[in-house]
Amino acid sequence: MSKFNQQALQLSQATQRLQEALTETKTPMIRDSAIQRFEFCLDLTWKTLKTYLEDNKGIIVKSPKECFRVAYQQNLIDYDLKWLELVDLRNETVHTYNEDFADLVYSKLPEALNLFQSLSTILKTL
């Protein structure tokens, strides 16, 4: 199995885990677990796209935001500032923690899940 296919499979599995967390009744532990799973999904998303771009297009990207911009230019994803916003949100979750912020992040996770699921479906066709 190629590196890209392994990463795409891992992303699909991580996305399922995020969906599982979001179907549970929200408690502080479930909220925090969902946020961690979101971080995994976003990291796997950009790294999977990075591998695809390098292996199939010969394009080297060095950061998540650059990766999403190039993925759009290569018609892998629809133009959506939400991807860039998710990168910013993920960066904040790594460096900031308080209850209000955690609740804000949690409230954005269903929309992020939809993006991850849509992309995961697209990646299966590549």
Instruction: Read off φ and ψ for residue 68, nearest 5 degrees.
Output: -65, -40
Euclidean distance between CA atoms 10 and 79, whole angstroms: 24
How high does pLDDT run on average in the chain? 94
Domains of the chain by residue range: 3-124
- Which DSSP symbol is given to 62? -
Q: Which of 45, 44, 25, 46 is nearest to 106 (CA)?
A: 25
pLDDT at 24: 97
pLDDT at 20: 98
Euclidean distance between CA atoms 71 and 75, whole angstroms: 6
Give residue-wise pLDDT tens across range 53-112: 999 999 999 999 999 999 999 999 987 789 999 999 999 998 777 889 999 999 999 999
CATH code matching the domain that covers 3-124, chosen among 1.10.10.10, 3.20.20.120, 3.90.930.12, 1.20.120.330: 1.20.120.330
Instruction: Read off φ and ψ for residue 50, nearest 5 degrees.
Output: -60, -45
pTM of the model as a whole: 0.93
